[in-house]
Amino acid sequence: MQSGVTVSKLLINGLVQGVGFRPTVYKVAQQLGLYGWVKNTSLGVEVVINTTDAQVFMHKLEDDLPRLASLDSVEIQQISLDHELTNFTILPSSAGAVNDTIMPPDSYICQDCLGELFDPTSKYYLYPFTNCTNCGPRYSVIRGLPYDRPLTALANFPLCESCCAEYTDSNNRRYHAQATACPNCGPQLNAELAEVAESLRLGKIVALKGVGGYALLADAKNSVTLQQLRQRKKRSSKPFALMALNVTSIRHFYAQVSEHDAGLLESTAAPIVLLAKKNRSNVAKEVAPDLATLGFMLPNSPIHYLLFYYLLEKPSGDWLSKAQDIVLVVTSANFSGGTIISDNLEAQEQLNAIADVVVGYNREIVMKSDDSVMMNCGKHDVLLRRARGFAPKPYYFSYHLPQVLGLGAQLKNTVTFTRGNKAFTSQYLGDMSSEHTVKYFKQVLAHFDQVFNFKPELIVSDAHPDFFVTQYAQQLGIEHIQLQHHFAHFAATLGNAESCGKKIQPIVLGCILDGYGYGLDGDAWGGELIKCTRANLQFEVVSHLVPLCVPGGDIAEREPWRIALAYCVENNLALPEHLANQPQAAILGKLIESQQFGVSRAFGRFFSLVAGLLNIVTLANYEAHAAMVLEGLVSKPVVEHDFVRLNKQGQPDFNLLINRIYKIGLVEKDINRAVNVFYGSIAALIEKWIIYHCSLNGIRQVAISGGCWQSRHLLAMLSEQLPRLGIELLVPYQMPMNDECISFGQAWYGAQLKLMEKSKCV
């Protein structure tokens, strides 16, 4: 053949590595009679085919995309080869200095693998680590990209002859499946799952290593066992997550499940989904004390399915689809405040103090992750924790961003870096006041650097001078700026909107309702209306909530009765008996009268106030405890318009509303109505506040963020009502609105500043 033959070269980017993409390219080329090659590179997947018209190939490829794959961009060019193409092959991967590909997240076991797991004729029968190109561990086992077995935790498990045959068979589901393994050549558990199931039946607590780390398992119907688990884990009342075999089981025995909820539970991410508890839910009260919801997930790996198989004593037939009255508590294996444990040695050393049995396996977890958490709110899915199954999938932009690193918040920390047309946000990391989280934080940054060779030109951290992330940034010797906490919340919603292709108006109003954030004046912020000019990203607080007295600062967050006591004293309301009887009530009352305490305008404190005032929660044992219990009592929000007013400064008049709640709940003794009036009227009050300042500033686009927006009732009411009034509402449904979004907001903001700098130099 003559030299200079013209062919098409495609560079395909997106979620195209570790998802069975190359085998699919191979099959499509074979079906179309095309010759050439496909290979993973550091810039994406490279495809060369012997045609000058690649559109037919691309249409067929898009129609046949693997279950986990998604395309971001396709660059096509014509190149000249000096040799004839005579077949189509998958070539060895090639690496580069800069890696612009994507690490796929871990995925729920597919139906094909699940079928083989319980097929006595399959070599994968009862094998707890079966997977294929369509499912299984990814992010948790990847050391580097391109995604090839030598760069994963499976590198120490050479394929046996049988697996090798499947790996090289283009018609096999495990064709080039990098994490594939079987009982002869793959990872092994250090205990029999039949014995583990028996331990659970006997009321034992089991620490079991899953895809992202160890979890503590217990019978969710055994009150005695759950009391022991709470005592050993030092977790007095924070709710536990649950696992049931299937949606039918949850719906029949434990919780209300809509078709939309079922779709979330059965999605490839297999998250925990918050569901309304059935009136006679068949779980122990110790699972989620005083709450109206239960957090459920389905088995997400072969290990979990096998555990149910043995708990049901080796059933046969269609047991996988039938309702089964077996439910397990599945909670992260850590001590209160620490990170999830993933190392086998660490598990043996630390978890023996909590678990009666510790079960691991000999495949390393390279990058650990907690379970993701979601809820459905009307027509939208809301992420409450973004971890296993979601991270580290990037957010895409229609323009290129400079390399910027956002270091996140002190609580609910994540890290985000931007490069090219993507922003990569890590999984949920935790509370940076813990030395374990600090170590985890550094591991994630090192892993990102190892995989992506990321070199930031700017680092953005919180404005709080005492936070670890601020001090860490100052030590790196890279240009560093600080962004106020709630400005970062606002920036996160703007960045998320742009990544979804929405147009940001020249001026946007941000409504940030949060628990706490260090303000520019040193005070506690958390209830602000902020105006942002998109052209220069200047933030201006145009209004804020009237501050509440918080006796004892952080102590008041844990003891809501203090905030309620302060409110009654300042507003000359008779102290209800449950407040007057507090041992410190008298001395605190005198100090409050002499204004000896600080204040907070954080919106979350109003939930604490009402919970303490109505004697619903006087001592909070975990973050948002008061708000969660309070929301669980809402049956139907009621708006009493006479008590929905702004003061002369255009701020919500909460005193008017709280005094009304005091009367309904404590004078009329109708706690349920008081809670319903509070939720309905507070939503109407926030709506009135937003509308007033939109009109005042000529704004028609509002961005929301902050942990308090995770209130299902508040979000549902405002997201329905504001658009009816002609206000476009920007809601970051693709990320949590709590402090997990802070790093994304920081990185996006920093990238915009760099882009503005560069535009001035042109």
Residues 166-183 have pLDDT tens digits of 999 988 999 999 999 999
> How does 731-748 read in b/e, with b if 16+ C-beta sit within 10 Å?
bbbbbbbbbbbbbbbbbb
pLDDT for the residue numbered 1: 38
Q: What percent of the chain is modeled with pLDDT above 70?
A: 99
Task: State the number of CA atoms in the 13 A half-sphere of 69 facing the CB.
Answer: 24
Domain boundaries defined on the chain? 5-90, 193-382, 394-500+740-761, 544-730
- The amino acid that residue 379 corresponds to is K
Tell me whether residue 577 is exposed, middle or buried, using C-beta atoms within 10 angstroms of its C-beta: 0 to 12, 13 to 18, 19 or more. Answer: exposed
How many helices (H) and strands (E) the chain has is answered by 23, 25
Q: Is 544-730 assigned to CATH 3.40.50.150?
A: no
Residue 444 scores a pLDDT above 60: yes
pLDDT given for residue 94 in this prediction: 78
Q: How far apart are CA 519 and CA 526, in angstroms?
A: 9
Tens of pLDDT, residues 718-737: 999 999 999 999 999 999 99
Q: If you average pLDDT over every residue of the chain, what do you get?
A: 95
User: Which single residue is written with the structure tokens 């912020």?
Assistant: 525
How many CB atoms sit inside 10 A of residue 723's CB?
12
Residues 528-555: tens digit of each pLDDT = 999 999 999 999 999 999 999 999 888 9
Stretch among 82-91, 113-122, 155-164, 284-293 having the lowest mean pLDDT: 82-91
In this predicted structure, what is the pLDDT of residue 99? 66
Look up residue 611 and give its two tokens.
């919970």
Give the mean model confidence (pLDDT) for residues 675-703. Answer: 98
pLDDT tens, residue by residue, 748-757: 999 999 999 9
Give the number of C-alpha atoms closer than 13 A to the C-alpha of residue 343, restricted to the C-beta side: 7
Indicate the fold that domain 394-500+740-761 takes in CATH: Nucleotidyltransferase; domain 5 (3.30.420)
CB–CB of 349/356 below 8 Å? no
Query: Is residue 159 scored above 60 in pLDDT?
Result: yes
pLDDT one-digit tens code per residue, 574-613: 999 999 999 999 999 888 888 878 899 999 999 999 999 9
SS3 state at 399: strand
Residue 3 Rama label (left phi>0; alpha psi -120 to 50; beta):
beta
**Are the beta carbons of 719 and 378 closer than 8 angstroms?**
yes
643 CB burial (10 A radius; 0-12, 13-18, 19+):
buried
Decide if 394-500+740-761 and 544-730 have a common fold: yes
> 392: cis peptide before it, omega within 30°?
yes
Q: What is the pLDDT of residues 615-643, one digit of tens each?
A: 999 999 999 999 999 999 999 999 999 99
Domain 5-90, CATH: 3.30.70.100
CA atoms lying within 13 Å on the CB side of residue 635: 4
The answer to pTM > 0.85 is yes
Domain 193-382 has CATH 3.90.870.10: yes
Give the max Cα distance, the chain: 98
Instruction: Give the CA count within 13 Å in the CB-facing half-sphere of 472.
Output: 21
| Rg, the chain, Cα only | 27
| Nearest-angstrom CA–CA distance, 188 and 170 | 27
pLDDT digits (tens, 9 = 90+) for 388-426: 999 999 999 999 999 999 999 999 999 999 999 999 999
Nearest Cα to Cα of residue 185 among 207, 168, 162, 153: 162
Return the H-helix or E-strand segment holding 262.
helix 259-265
